Amino acid sequence: MARYDWSKPVASLLYKLQQRGFTIVSVYDGEERVKIDSTKSNLASRKEAIEVITSVDESQLIVKKGDIKASLYILLGNDPEELVYDYTDWDELDMVVNEHSFQWQGKKCPVVAD
């Protein structure tokens, strides 16, 4: 039996955020806020955030750029192009979310065998 592999669309979103200069601050999984260690590499930060985000259906991702923090609300179950269902109104963040949505437009979530 196959199951959805949300790690790929989530990873591509986080990668795009980091490429645009955003730092992953934390992920709220509905019960606890997991702070992402800012001394880790971008790859290690992404992996930790991916693990938390994909462990629940809905999460809140906090990122920052400079002194500004922003929230992205992620819902696994939407099509990958609609992974982010709400976020802080900020032009720089809007560009990343739109770029991610365009990349995944019309594509289904990848699957992996159990």
- In tens, the pLDDT along 69-101 reads 999 999 999 899 999 999 999 999 999 999 999
- Per domain, the residue ranges of the chain are 2-102
Q: pTM of the predicted model, to two decimals?
A: 0.95
Structure tokens at 84: 């982010």
From CA 63, how far away is CA 77, in angstroms rounded? 22
Structure tokens at 76: 């696994």
From CA 105, how far away is CA 64, in angstroms rounded? 26
- In tens, the pLDDT along 20-77 reads 999 999 999 999 999 999 899 999 999 999 999 999 999 999 999 999 999 999 999 9
Q: How far is CA 26 from the centre of its chain?
A: 11
